Structure 1
Amino acid sequence: MDVRLLWLALGAFAGSVESSLIVSVLPAIATETGVSLAQAGYLIFGYSIAYGIGTPLLSTLFGHLDRRSVVAGAELLFGLMCLLLGVLPGFLLLVLARTCMALGAGLFTSTAQATAVALAAPGKRGSAISTVVMGGSIAVAVGVPASALVAEFLGWRVAYLGLGVLAIIASATMWLKLPGDIHGDPRTIRERLSVLKVPGMPLTLLASGVMVMASFTFFNYLAPVTTDLLGLDRVLLPLVMFAFGVGAVFGNFFGGRLADRIGGRQTMLVIGGLMVVLLAAVPLLAMLPRPAVLPAFLFHMLLYGVVSWGFFPPQLHRLAALAPAAVPLSASLNLTSMNLGGALSALVGGLVLENLDIGWLGPIGAVVAVAALVIAYLAPDHR
């Protein structure tokens, strides 16, 4: 294996850790900065909007540069914003820093896999991409619980400072170790959006965004669900995140294989149906006898990790079937759709917290998941 791929994987690791770490530290940030949990959700909203809209724009703007400059620069921006999150006072400054962080994270993610392919020897491209993706998988299973543990006992700012240092080390090593002659992608925005003309593509992308909206309406506010709704100690959050991470690894693995066996649409319907059930069941967990709450919730989050991450492979399967020659373009737009769905989930979850009870996060998410199921059913699998 080309060891240079490991530095790309490290960058993917840092980005994946941060995107889930915010879920466990949101209440602590809200308390320290004097805002409500619903207002703290703007940290997620700003990040998701910047990631979803900024990534294709920056990819176009910097498409003429070599990929070493892009991945190293994007990871450097991400790392510097992590450091700022660790020291900046005031909620608005934190929102601004995390929004800028999303630009670095999105640009890195959109460029890293293509860079891995360029580095790979003939016949090794699949394993090269897997190496980079492995960074994200390890982050979800191990990095997120570990960072949540650091945040719990040393403070959320220390966790962000550590992530910032890690990302800057990865950026510097990418600059030193990667070749400077890997050409970028100079396509214009119009060319990147041309894939939307493929019949069925808009509906399939919409299904991705709505499914993420459903999933994260609950997941964004996992910390208060754990403590306020279920009455569990917040020191158990790293364990909850670990259960989710283990499920995510299995979901990513089996989602793709199930799509190969029964097709992308059928897999999405199965996974979406399970998502509806799990979200609707959230309030029921609080009704269990006290000794049963923790084991039941851990099992619930294990399954939730499976379905939350299990829908990525079948969606890519469907996109590839619709436009086999334009997978990079459709995958990029899928990422945009998912992040816009994530932004809306922060707003919807905030409205639930302000106007209803926290126990409604799951059922409201279930209603949105039903809408995603309908869209997924209507979207064709082939042109």
Structure 2
Amino acid sequence: MASAEPLHDSISSADVSHIRSSRIPPAIYLLGAAVFAVTTSEFMVAGIMPSLSSALGVSVGEIGYLISYFALGMTIGGPLATALLLALRVRNKAAFLWLLGLFVLGSIVTAIAPNYGVMALGRIIQGISSGGCFGIALTICASLVSSNRRGRAVSVVLAGLMLSPVVGVPATAMIEQSFGWRASFWSVVVLAALAMTVVAIGVPSAKHDGSADLRSSLAALRNGRLWTAYLTSSLIIGATFAAFSYFSPIFTQIAGLPEGVIPILLAIYGLANVLGNLVIGRFADRFTIPILIGGLTILAFALATFALFATIPAIAIAAFITIGLFGVTMNPAMAARVMRAAHPDPMVNAVHSSVITTGLAVGTWAGGLGIDAGYGLTAPLWVGFALALAGLLSLAPRRARRLS
């Protein structure tokens, strides 16, 4: 790893001129590949729950907590890890490699875990490193393109996140079925190590400009516009996952679809995520606020339609796909708004990732609370609808200023 130098840095002017001459720098695709590796690990547990439950001698519910441990590490540990690297004044690229190295270590722990406790520890380590990786990846991404192309560049990085449920999670499930659950976890170790290698070789090193440290990064968080942007992002993700987390029982128990259709719907939803992310990414820089307003309006409409017509499979499926097209796919616009509200600092981006993860957890929890309270399986959809409306309200002050 490189020696300790300032984490927040800028590419030299000669490098910037060269990098920005291309439409999307190849280095940004490499960052997307790294995000794909860490995100695949986050969601892979969902595809191998029965095997893990049997191997570790715990219930399926306890295996589900492994996803929560990852999210907990990401939410709390990600910003703390970023703060430590800022305090040590480590360059962006070196910091990213250190965090990927920590992720590889956590992945090895999960692969060799002899019991549930060790597995949980490995998942927490993975989450901590993942949260930091997201923040620094977006910071490096922003430094490689001009400010008016950040949304599009971010969409390429986030394509790694969108592809992981479509490609990564099914692949790890197939490996588990053929070679066992440990092989599935070892495949993530190999994938993460490969990501480290390509980032080390293909992402340009940045030149220290001496302008940032932990104090200035924390100062950047004392920004009302930034926290308003964070709130909108959290509500968008909360609204989406309030519905997505419970789509399977809604389709099988209310719409009456067979369980065999669920993987097909999941694949279609994933493809909708990828398509929506790439399309929105092309326009996120020029139409940031209109995209957020329009997207939230469509999302709210789709959630209400899903809830009202959940018993009609064709309408329910159409609404579900619409949620896939206009939910998490607003990520490029969300990131572009945050980067306009504050300098694209590693801490700013790490906290954004943390806030998004919090929104995911709150949306899922509130949806389950509605079901447990006796409001039925469509309760999460109405929770999502309410969160989408709250997201629109969070944009109202901005809209009153004529979308400036």
Short-chain TM bin: 0.7 to 0.9
Asked whether the equivalents of residues 145 and 242 of structure 1 are also in contact (C-alpha less than 8 Å), the reply is no
- How many residues of Structure 1 are paired with residues of Structure 2 in the alignment? 374
Whole-Å separation in 1 of the counterparts to 2:159 and 2:330: 17
Asked whether the equivalents of residues 78 and 104 of structure 1 are also in contact (C-alpha less than 8 Å), the reply is yes
Asked whether the equivalents of residues 17 and 143 of structure 1 are also in contact (C-alpha less than 8 Å), the reply is yes
Asked whether the equivalents of residues 320 and 326 of structure 1 are also in contact (C-alpha less than 8 Å), the reply is yes
* Residue 352 of structure 2 corresponds to residue 334 of structure 1: yes
Quote the offset at 1:102 in angstroms: 0.9
Quote the offset at 1:220 in angstroms: 3.1
Partner amino acid for 1:277?
F
Whole-Å separation in 2 of the counterparts to 1:217 and 1:31: 29
**Which residue does the alignment assign to 1:278?**
302
| 1:168 corresponds to which of 193, 200, 203 | 193
Asked whether the equivalents of residues 280 and 363 of structure 1 are also in contact (C-alpha less than 8 Å), the reply is yes
**Which residue does the alignment assign to 1:82?**
107
TM-score, with structure 2 as normaliser:
0.73
* Residue 361 of structure 2 corresponds to residue 343 of structure 1: yes
Q: Residues 199-210 of structure 1: matches in 2 within 5 Å?
A: 199-210=224-235
Asked whether the equivalents of residues 250 and 310 of structure 2 are also in contact (C-alpha less than 8 Å), the reply is no
**Which residue does the alignment assign to 2:264?**
239
Whole-Å separation in 1 of the counterparts to 2:335 and 2:145: 24
Q: What's the C-alpha RMSD, in Å, of the aligned pairs?
A: 4.1
Q: Which moved more, 1:250-259 or 1:24-33?
A: 24-33
Asked whether the equivalents of residues 145 and 238 of structure 1 are also in contact (C-alpha less than 8 Å), the reply is no
Asked whether the equivalents of residues 306 and 320 of structure 2 are also in contact (C-alpha less than 8 Å), the reply is no
**Which residue does the alignment assign to 1:302?**
321
* Residue-by-residue CA offset, 1:25-72 (whole Å, 9 max, x unaligned): 5677668754464x6554343333321232222112123234454323
Asked whether the equivalents of residues 24 and 237 of structure 1 are also in contact (C-alpha less than 8 Å), the reply is no
| 2:334 corresponds to which of 315, 329, 332 | 315
Asked whether the equivalents of residues 24 and 222 of structure 1 are also in contact (C-alpha less than 8 Å), the reply is no
Partner amino acid for 1:287?
T
Asked whether the equivalents of residues 155 and 277 of structure 2 are also in contact (C-alpha less than 8 Å), the reply is no
**Which residue does the alignment assign to 2:121?**
96
Q: Partner of 1:62: helix, strand, or coil?
A: helix
Quote the offset at 1:209 in angstroms: 1.3
Whole-Å separation in 2 of the counterparts to 1:25 and 1:277: 34
Asked whether the equivalents of residues 82 and 161 of structure 1 are also in contact (C-alpha less than 8 Å), the reply is yes
**Which residue does the alignment assign to 1:9?**
32
* Residue 386 of structure 2 corresponds to residue 367 of structure 1: yes
Structure 2 residue runs without a partner (length 5+): 1-21
Quote the offset at 1:371 in angstroms: 2.2
TM-score, with structure 1 as normaliser:
0.77
Cα distance change of structure 1 residues 187 and 304 upon mapping to structure 2, 3 Å threshold: same
Structure 1 residue runs without a partner (length 5+): none
Whole-Å separation in 1 of the counterparts to 2:368 and 2:156: 36
Whole-Å separation in 2 of the counterparts to 1:193 and 1:175: 28
Q: Partner of 1:287: helix, strand, or coil?
A: coil
Quote the offset at 1:303 in angstroms: 1.7
Cα distance change of structure 1 residues 65 and 271 upon mapping to structure 2, 3 Å threshold: same
**Which residue does the alignment assign to 1:269?**
293
Whole-Å separation in 2 of the counterparts to 1:228 and 1:88: 36
Whole-Å separation in 1 of the counterparts to 2:293 and 2:141: 32
* Residue 239 of structure 2 corresponds to residue 214 of structure 1: yes
Whole-Å separation in 1 of the counterparts to 2:80 and 2:126: 15
Q: Residues 249-260 of structure 1: matches in 2 within 5 Å?
A: 249-256=274-281, 259=284
